[in-house]
Amino acid sequence: MTRIDDLPIRDELRGKSPYGAPQLDVPVRLNTNENPYPLPEPLVRRIAERVTEAARSLNRYPDRDAVALRTELARYLTRTGGHRVTKDQVWAANGSNEVIQQLLQTFGGPGRTAIGFEPSYSMHALIARGTGTGWISGPRHADFTIDVPAATAAIAEHRPDVVFITTPNNPTGSAVPAEAVLALYDAAQAARPSLVVVDEAYVEFSHGDSLLPLLDGRPNLVISRTMSKAFGAAGLRLGYLAADPAVVDAVQLVRLPYHLSAVTQATALAALEHTDTLLKYVEQLKQERDRLVTELLAAGYEVTASDANFVQFGRFDDAHKVWQQILDRGVLVRDNGVPGWLRVTAGTPAENDAFLDAVRDLKKEHS
């Protein structure tokens, strides 16, 4: 049998593993930070209408610049982000993973480096690898907040071309204060200057505000967003960024022509028509997230503060063993490889009850 390493693949890919959150068929799946609520029926019908309309022109390539969609995304950001954003400042792709890939293809690449403060979203490092960008793992405090003096020192030392700041951070949950982002941005500009990518995939669940207002006068700042979480549309694959229009122009150099299908654009436009309904689920999920925190603490677990739709909990001598024990009780959570900690996504009240029953049960077993 031919193995991957028998193939003439790039050296830096040899022996590596792909991104692989398990997709297991268990009753309660709380492992990939999805929104547990299916799209409401009126929206499902609207998607069908819009897609039917798009199907009539599928013989043609889609709008390469996705102008209608970018206009609506800009409107959404302006309405919710406390800052006026125009369509020229917005770019969209197939999930924010593709947005990040396009950014690294444009601003990273061979001979260049990117830094992230770990533990954080593992795909930043993996996409860096896939684009031939060197990866630097930056520091955090023991409580998982960014150690700003150590982080600025790391930026000054390594002079990376791209800096990733995930806020709220995945998998640990807490948001990064605007002052910290500004300090890192200034350090990155002094060192090189470099592109600072603020990954706000979970910002709609945060106690605080989006950092969109920081875009003013900062051409090397990018805010990355997604419809996979708050909009409950992970299956759609729609991510987007807001930045200086020059950044949007720059990513045109690497994006594949017609990368965003007409079906994707039509579906995303339909979802944006139902923004208000979709964001009501966000409020419910925030309450459930807070309930998970309270109940985990009451059950004797430790948690890290969460501004997202998930909670990191622990601490365990052997987190993977506990992951398996929770799975044995029919609940799939996430082992992100952070020693001592696991992560649970806020689900429906019934799913969260099932999770809480499982972890309470485990405590009883061990007491």
Task: Tell me which residues touch ligand PMP (CB under 6 A).
Answer: 33, 95-97, 121, 166, 170, 199, 201, 226, 228, 234, 239
- What is the C-alpha to C-alpha distance for residues 346 and 353, in angstroms, rounded to an integer? 10
Residue from 224, 172, 219 nearest 197 by CA: 224
Of residues 231 and 301, the one with the C-beta less far from ligand PMP: 231
State the distance between the two ends of the chain, measured CA to CA, in whole angstroms: 49
> What are the beta bridge partners of residue 116?
137, 164
Of residues 152 and 172, the one with the C-beta less far from ligand PMP: 172
- What is the C-alpha to C-alpha distance for residues 17 and 11, in angstroms, rounded to an integer? 13
Tokens 């028509």 sit on residue: 273
Smallest distance, ligand PMP to C-beta of residue 97, A: 4
Smallest distance, ligand PMP to C-beta of residue 36, A: 15
Smallest distance, ligand PMP to C-beta of residue 111, A: 25
Smallest distance, ligand PMP to C-beta of residue 103, A: 12
C-beta separation of 342 from 333 below 8 A: yes
Smallest distance, ligand PMP to C-beta of residue 225, A: 8
Of residues 251 and 362, the one with the C-beta less far from ligand PMP: 251
- What is the C-alpha to C-alpha distance for residues 354 and 349, in angstroms, rounded to an integer? 9
Of residues 118 and 295, the one with the C-beta less far from ligand PMP: 118
What does the DSSP 8-state code read for residue 116?
E
Residue from 236, 273, 264 nearest 45 by CA: 273
- What is the C-alpha to C-alpha distance for residues 305 and 113, in angstroms, rounded to an integer? 30
Phi, psi of 28 (to 5 degrees): -125, 110
- What is the C-alpha to C-alpha distance for residues 218 and 196, in angstroms, rounded to an integer? 10
Smallest distance, ligand PMP to C-beta of residue 255, A: 15
Give every strand in the sheet of 221-226, ordered side by side.
90-93, 239-243, 221-226, 195-199, 162-166, 113-117, 134-138
> What are the beta bridge partners of residue 242?
90, 223
Of residues 62 and 173, the one with the C-beta less far from ligand PMP: 173
Of residues 100 and 136, the one with the C-beta less far from ligand PMP: 100
Tokens 């924010």 sit on residue: 96
Question: Cα-atom radius of gyration of the chain, to the nearest Å?
Answer: 21
What does the DSSP 8-state code read for residue 61?
P
Of residues 166 and 304, the one with the C-beta less far from ligand PMP: 166
Of residues 268 and 296, the one with the C-beta less far from ligand PMP: 268
Of residues 166 and 325, the one with the C-beta less far from ligand PMP: 166
Joined together, the tokens standing for residue 233 give 């549309």
Of residues 336 and 352, the one with the C-beta less far from ligand PMP: 336
Smallest distance, ligand PMP to C-beta of residue 3, A: 29
CB-nearest residue to ligand PMP: 95
Phi, psi of 333 (to 5 degrees): -110, -170
Side-chain half-sphere exposure of 246, counting CA atoms within 13 A: 8
Residue from 270, 317, 282, 315 nearest 296 by CA: 315
Smallest distance, ligand PMP to C-beta of residue 288, A: 18
Smallest distance, ligand PMP to C-beta of residue 147, A: 19
Smallest distance, ligand PMP to C-beta of residue 361, A: 28
